[in-house]
């Protein structure tokens, strides 16, 4: 109290002094440049004071541990402080003599009222400046928490969970520190922390990423638990955030990494108002798709099967509903989405192009919450909350309830007379056994049933389950063990007529185990290492008759089995404040296993039925073929100045599972194939270089990334080959090599009423038959465009906040048409007319262009009410452009007639109601 009075007297005297010594004209503020990467506020003021004539006055208790994380270039102090204190309770005032006063809640009024000296209670007016906390917060801060049982140990481990006061969500990145002993810990993505302290009395400070500080008085007698609820970052719902921290654009060592949170995805207009994870990442540079009804996506010229899609550790083989029209992930349970296009962390492997890591939440420990939404086509509902003091859960469900959308499709699509249904279910649970152990359980199921033109029904399903155990050895070392099973299956029912009715099925199952360690060795080295293993069992296909009248013959392709294992080690090295390196390596071991029949061909001759030399039967567990080798992950960042940096990276990888297709658009019914003694594993490397710059106090982000990729052992289909129910797939494909290169430009505005981003991608993806391939030489062995080669892609995502409740969003997307092979002539041969086709992918379908518009209406912002709600309505494909999905040809009166297929050839209106209880 005496300190506060002294501070107020100082402020009072300084203000009086300023009245009598004010200059006759306004003073121009000095310009400041510098990089302030997460330094305490007192240190920030010292640096500013050393560069300028400014002097700071503030309460040390309030700002002693407040961190400043900003870059400035020729900015005034007012501009810098506005950015530093944005979304906090701190205010500042600067007088004419360059004195800076920092207060909370209200800025200090440097102009005294005319009757100031006549007031009899001026002391009470000054004391009101210190009324900053309510009674409940003061009680929590000053209460003494006795933790642990008395023992003879000199140090004890304090563990706990940091959550938000309002939402109960885990708070990631909160710093827990004890100033006297200079001990600190940082909460992980689940809000958990662990800190080792001497036994005795301590004052703990807890600071979140937004700079808000909470404190607790503790008497630590032994190991124990302390959970803390803290104010969360105050972030406007309309703010589009593609990166969790603005400065990471410049400072983080990895490149090619982008993050979307659920709030930014909600602002992107989507089909029928459904927040869509997959379509959201399509707005990022370097990510493309071949059409609106295509499953999967393409990253930096890579095929769709080269993307590893993870959902809380589970591998998702089909991430879409209704043949790619909707994402298979319920947005109400999704917490964050992170895409790695380059600089892929060492713990990820098995794919060549990218990793899409989707994190679902595990609930909150404060109260039961119910969230949902109702749209024109789908409805969704999720429930999360606590079960007791140590367990939280999250449960979500989504389903469709109408077939009206299919009636809007063009008649010649074969979709418009169909029936469709789908659902997805999500369950996640976290249980804290004690202060060092956490158990987590995840389950996911998505199911589609689509009837195609009354005679064909498609079914496909993801079914995933895993259980994880996290153990904290100490404040520097932690480990996570995960065991699970992933399953993907699809089936086709043909009912054209009873005599040829059939059932076809495909299934892939993988059982996996992995353990991952994080070890903070010191402030310069952070190690991560681990081991992982996956066992594959693949049923390539089986067809059988359906019904007694069917004459279809049962046929089945041999099952395939394989074991893929890897161990890895990585080190993030901070060489200096400017230079940071990330070095890592993996060693991969793959076994193709029996039971199976191995086929061996005459060396030096094309693989075909005529060059098959022998077949050999292998029993269960026999090793038919082994592949192994190292993979490298290297990236670095060098900070040029306080607002810009350059980054470079190089990585290699192997992929042992292939998606075999003869279509440009990936469908859920395409066949997966394991590497064997004839199908070699895919191999690729990528080198990338980027420049990154932040502008206007990090309000704008700009980046340019370039890359070049080399790929080997890719599979392309031979002309006229059959891939389904083929026991000799190696005879139907051609081994190819590929190369991809391009540049990606991104400009993003982070704050303000108008925010969003603009991106442009130039990308080429080319193939040619491998030089040592003795089989068919496609296009005479020359380079030709891949099926998904689309050189130019431009995206605009904009949001304008008219008020706190009303906002408008727009999404514009342009891309070059994908390649296509066309019939160019006809000729007579053997008494019949034949068609002559162009070189593979020598032509392109028309370019793609689409504009979407949505209006978002939030409910009122009263904190205490039964339910919070919002509305979203708008139009998908606002211009009604007939964007081509494909071009095909059918014979009409002896000539080939060309047709263009468009999935959505007219504007699609949508309206969605969202609620949260």
Tens-place pLDDT, residues 837-860: 888 889 898 999 999 999 988 876
Q: Are residues 50 and 28 in the same domain?
A: yes
**Is residue 243 included in any domain, yes or no?**
no
CA 174 – CA 233 distance, rounded (Å): 11
Please name the residue ranges forming H helices in 206-312: 248-251, 262-266, 277-281
Average pLDDT over residues 434-458: 87
- Say if residue 367 is exposed, middle or buried (CB neighbours under 10 Å; 0-12, 13-18, 19+): exposed
pLDDT tens for 230-256 read 876 443 323 333 333 455 677 777 888
Residues in CB range of 543: below 8 A, 6 or more apart: 502, 503, 504, 552, 554, 555, 556, 725
Average pLDDT over residues 64-79: 79
Nearest CA-CA partner of 679 in 656, 661, 663, 653: 656
φ/ψ region of 830 (left if φ > 0, alpha if ψ in -120 to 50, else beta) reads left
CA 50 – CA 72 distance, rounded (Å): 16
Whether the Cβ atoms of residue 204 and residue 178 lie closer than 8 Å to each other: yes
Q: Is the pLDDT of residue 664 over 70?
A: no
**Is residue 239 included in any domain, yes or no?**
no
User: Which pLDDT score, from 0 to 100, does residue 511 have?
Assistant: 98
Cα 886–Cα 892–Cα 898 angle in degrees, nearest 5: 25
Question: 32: pLDDT confidence band, cut at 50, 70 and 90?
Answer: confident
CA 381 – CA 771 distance, rounded (Å): 54
Cα–Cα distances (Å) from 830 to 116, 127, 692, 833, 834, in that order, read: 109, 104, 63, 8, 9
Q: Are residues 661 and 550 in the same domain?
A: yes
Q: Are residues 75 and 162 in the same domain?
A: no
CA 405 – CA 297 distance, rounded (Å): 23
One-character DSSP codes across 425-437: EEEEEEEEEETTE
**Is residue 236 included in any domain, yes or no?**
no
Q: Are residues 199 and 124 in the same domain?
A: no
CA 390 – CA 804 distance, rounded (Å): 36
φ/ψ region of 713 (left if φ > 0, alpha if ψ in -120 to 50, else beta) reads left
Residue at which a domain ends, from 202, 230, 258? 230
Question: 23: pLDDT confidence band, cut at 50, 70 and 90?
Answer: very low
CA 844 – CA 815 distance, rounded (Å): 12
φ/ψ region of 273 (left if φ > 0, alpha if ψ in -120 to 50, else beta) reads left
Q: Are residues 301 and 280 in the same domain?
A: yes
CATH code of the domain covering residue 805: 2.40.170.20
Average pLDDT over residues 475-493: 93
CATH code of the domain covering residue 87: 3.55.50.30
Please compute, for residue 693, the number of CA atoms within 13 A of its CA located in the half-sphere on the CB side.
9
Cα–Cα distances (Å) from 407 to 291, 320, 744, in that order, read: 20, 20, 39
**Is residue 242 included in any domain, yes or no?**
no
Q: Is the dihedral of CA 692, 697, 701, 702 positive or negative?
A: negative
Average pLDDT over residues 887-909: 76
CA 373 – CA 870 distance, rounded (Å): 9
User: Which pLDDT score, from 0 to 100, does residue 778 have?
Assistant: 87
* Parallel/antiparallel/unpaired status of strands 456-472 and 437-452: antiparallel
Q: Are residues 175 and 293 in the same domain?
A: no
Average pLDDT over residues 348-376: 92
pLDDT tens for 325-347 read 788 999 899 988 999 998 899 99
Q: Are residues 89 and 140 in the same domain?
A: no
User: Which pLDDT score, from 0 to 100, does residue 403 have?
Assistant: 66
Q: Is the pLDDT of residue 615 over 90?
A: yes
Whether the Cβ atoms of residue 38 and residue 69 lie closer than 8 Å to each other: yes
How far does CA 405 lie from the centroid of its chain? 29
**Is residue 238 included in any domain, yes or no?**
no
For residue 122, which phi and psi values (nearest 5 degrees)? -65, -30
Q: Are residues 58 and 157 in the same domain?
A: no
Residues in CB range of 322: below 8 A, 6 or more apart: 293, 400, 420, 422, 448, 450
More confident residue, 513 or 822: 513
**Is residue 268 included in any domain, yes or no?**
yes
How far does CA 594 lie from the centroid of its chain? 37
Residue at which a domain ends, from 66, 101, 130? 130
pTM, two decimals, is: 0.77
Q: Rounded mean pLDDT of the chain?
A: 83
Question: 468: pLDDT confidence band, cut at 50, 70 and 90?
Answer: very high
Cα 550–Cα 552–Cα 558 angle in degrees, nearest 5: 140
Q: Are residues 94 and 178 in the same domain?
A: no
Q: Are residues 306 and 393 in the same domain?
A: yes
Nearest CA-CA partner of 342 in 280, 254, 260: 254
Which residue is associated with the tokens 């026999």? 622
Q: How many separate domains does the chain show?
A: 3
Cα–Cα distances (Å) from 421 to 130, 242, 318, 399, 452, in that order, read: 60, 32, 16, 8, 12
Residue 705 CB coordination number (10 Å): 24
User: Which pLDDT score, from 0 to 100, does residue 133 have?
Assistant: 43
**Is residue 344 included in any domain, yes or no?**
yes
Strand stretches in 349-455, DSSP E = 354-360, 369-374, 378-387, 391-400, 419-434, 437-452
Judged by DSSP in three states, 584 sits in strand
What is the DSSP-derived secondary structure letter of residue 788?
T
More confident residue, 665 or 289: 289
- Enter the tokens of residue 885: 């999905």
**Domain limits for position 182:** 135-230
Cα 179–Cα 63–Cα 92 angle in degrees, nearest 5: 175
Q: Are residues 845 and 889 in the same domain?
A: yes
CA 488 – CA 670 distance, rounded (Å): 12
More confident residue, 670 or 312: 312
Which residue is associated with the tokens 């409740």? 805
* Parallel/antiparallel/unpaired status of strands 55-57 and 99-104: parallel
Question: 408: pLDDT confidence band, cut at 50, 70 and 90?
Answer: low
Residue at which a domain ends, from 130, 148, 170? 130
Q: Are residues 124 and 150 in the same domain?
A: no
**Is residue 241 included in any domain, yes or no?**
no
CA 286 – CA 664 distance, rounded (Å): 18
Q: Is the pLDDT of residue 314 over 70?
A: yes
Judged by DSSP in three states, 772 sits in coil
Q: Find residue 790's DSSP bridge partners.
A: none
Question: 674: pLDDT confidence band, cut at 50, 70 and 90?
Answer: very high
Average pLDDT over residues 672-677: 94
């Amino acid at each position: 109290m005496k300190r506060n009075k002294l501070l107020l007297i100082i402020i009072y005297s300084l203000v009086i002094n300023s009245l009598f010594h004010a200059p006759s004209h306004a003073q121009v503020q000095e310009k400041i440049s510098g990089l302030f990467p997460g330094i305490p506020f007192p240190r920030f003021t010292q640096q500013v004071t050393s560069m300028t004539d400014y002097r700071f006055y503030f309460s040390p208790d309030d700002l002693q541990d407040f961190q400043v994380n900003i870059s400035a270039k020729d900015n005034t102090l007012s501009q810098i402080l506005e950015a530093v204190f944005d979304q906090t309770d701190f205010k500042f005032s600067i007088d004419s003599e360059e004195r800076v006063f920092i207060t909370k809640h209200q800025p200090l009024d440097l102009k005294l009222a005319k009757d100031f000296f006549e007031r009899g209670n001026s002391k009470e007016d000054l004391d009101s400046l210190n009324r900053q906390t309510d009674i409940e917060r003061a009680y929590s801060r000053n209460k003494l928490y006795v933790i642990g049982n008395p023992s003879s140990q000199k140090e004890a481990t304090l563990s706990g969970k940091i959550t938000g006061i309002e939402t109960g969500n885990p708070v990631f990145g909160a710093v827990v520190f004890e100033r006297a002993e200079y001990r600190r810990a940082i909460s992980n993505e689940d809000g958990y922390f662990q800190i080792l302290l001497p036994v005795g009395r301590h004052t703990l400070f807890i600071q979140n990423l937004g700079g808000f500080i909470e404190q607790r008085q503790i008497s630590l007698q032994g190991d124990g638990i302390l959970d803390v609820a803290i104010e969360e970052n105050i972030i406007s719902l309309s703010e589009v955030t593609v990166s969790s921290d603005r400065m990471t654009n410049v400072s983080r060592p990895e490149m090619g990494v982008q993050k979307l949170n659920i709030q930014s995805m909600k602002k992107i207009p989507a089909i029928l108002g459904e927040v869509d994870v997959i379509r959201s990442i399509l707005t990022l540079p370097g990510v493309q798709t071949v059409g609106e009804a295509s499953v999967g996506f393409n990253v930096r010229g890579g095929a769709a099967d080269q993307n590893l899609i993870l959902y809380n550790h589970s591998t998702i083989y089909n991430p879409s509903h209704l043949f790619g029209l909707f994402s298979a992930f319920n947005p109400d349970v999704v917490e964050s989405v992170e895409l790695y296009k380059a600089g892929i962390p060492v713990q990820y492997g098995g794919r060549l192009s990218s990793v899409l890591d989707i994190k679902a939440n595990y609930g909150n420990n404060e109260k039961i919450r119910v969230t949902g939404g109702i749209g024109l086509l789908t409805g969704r509902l999720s429930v999360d909350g606590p079960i007791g003091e140590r367990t939280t859960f999250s449960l979500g469900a989504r389903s469709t309830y109408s077939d009206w959308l299919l009636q809007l499709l063009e008649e010649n699509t074969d979709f418009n007379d169909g029936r469709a249904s789908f659902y997805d279910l999500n369950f996640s649970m976290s249980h804290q056994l004690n202060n060092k152990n956490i158990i987590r359980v995840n389950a996911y199921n998505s199911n589609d049933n689509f009837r195609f033109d009354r005679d064909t029904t498609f079914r496909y399903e993801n079914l995933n389950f895993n259980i994880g155990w996290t153990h904290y050895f100490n404040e520097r070392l932690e480990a996570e063990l995960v065991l699970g099973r992933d399953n993907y299956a699809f089936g086709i029912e043909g009912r054209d007529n009873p005599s040829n009715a059939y059932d076809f099925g495909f299934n892939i199952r993988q059982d996996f185990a992995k353990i991952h360690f994080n070890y903070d060795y010191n402030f310069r080295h952070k190690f991560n290492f681990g081991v992982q293993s996956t066992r594959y069992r693949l049923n390539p296909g089986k067809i059988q008759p359906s019904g007694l009248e069917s004459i279809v013959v049962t046929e089945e392709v041999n099952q395939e089995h394989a074991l893929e294992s890897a161990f890895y080690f990585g080190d993030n090295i901070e060489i200096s404040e400017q230079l940071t390196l990330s070095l890592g390596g993996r060693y991969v071991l793959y076994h193709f296993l029996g039971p199976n029949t191995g086929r061996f061909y005459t060396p030096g001759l094309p693989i075909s039925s005529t060059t098959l030399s022998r077949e050999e039967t292998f029993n269960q567990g026999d090793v038919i073929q082994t592949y192994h080798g190292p993979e490298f992950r290297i990236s670095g960042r060098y900070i040029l100045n306080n607002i810009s940096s350059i980054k470079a990276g190089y990585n290699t990888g192997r992929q042992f599972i292939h998606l075999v297709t003869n279509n440009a658009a990936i469908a859920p019914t395409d066949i997966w194939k394991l590497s064997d003694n004839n199908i070699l594993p895919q191999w690729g490397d990528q080198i990338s270089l980027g420049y990154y710059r932040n502008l206007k106090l990090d309000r704008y982000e700009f980046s340019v990334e370039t890359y070049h990729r080399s790929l080997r052992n890719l599979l392309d289909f031979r002309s006229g080959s059959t891939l389904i129910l083929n026991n000799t797939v190696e005879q139907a494909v051609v081994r190819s090599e590929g190369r991809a290169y391009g540049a990606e430009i991104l400009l993003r505005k982070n704050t303000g009423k108008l925010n969003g981003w603009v991106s442009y991608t130039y990308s080429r993806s080319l193939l040619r038959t491998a030089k040592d391939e003795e089989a068919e030489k496609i296009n005479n062995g020359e380079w030709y465009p891949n099926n998904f080669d689309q050189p130019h892609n431009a995206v605009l995502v904009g949001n304008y906040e008219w008020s706190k409740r009303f906002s408008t969003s727009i999404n514009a997307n342009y891309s070059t048409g994908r390649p296509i092979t066309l019939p160019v002539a006809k000729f007579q041969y053997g008494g019949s007319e034949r068609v002559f086709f162009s070189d593979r992918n020598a032509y392109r379908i028309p370019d793609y262009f689409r504009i979407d518009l949505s209006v978002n209406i939030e409910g009122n912002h009263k904190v205490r009410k039964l339910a919070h709600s919002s509305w979203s309505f708008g139009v998908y494909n606002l211009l009604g452009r007939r964007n081509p999905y494909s071009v095909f040809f059918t014979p009409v009166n002896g000539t080939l007639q060309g047709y263009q297929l468009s999935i959505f050839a007219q504007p699609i209106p949508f309206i969605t109601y969202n609620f949260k209880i």
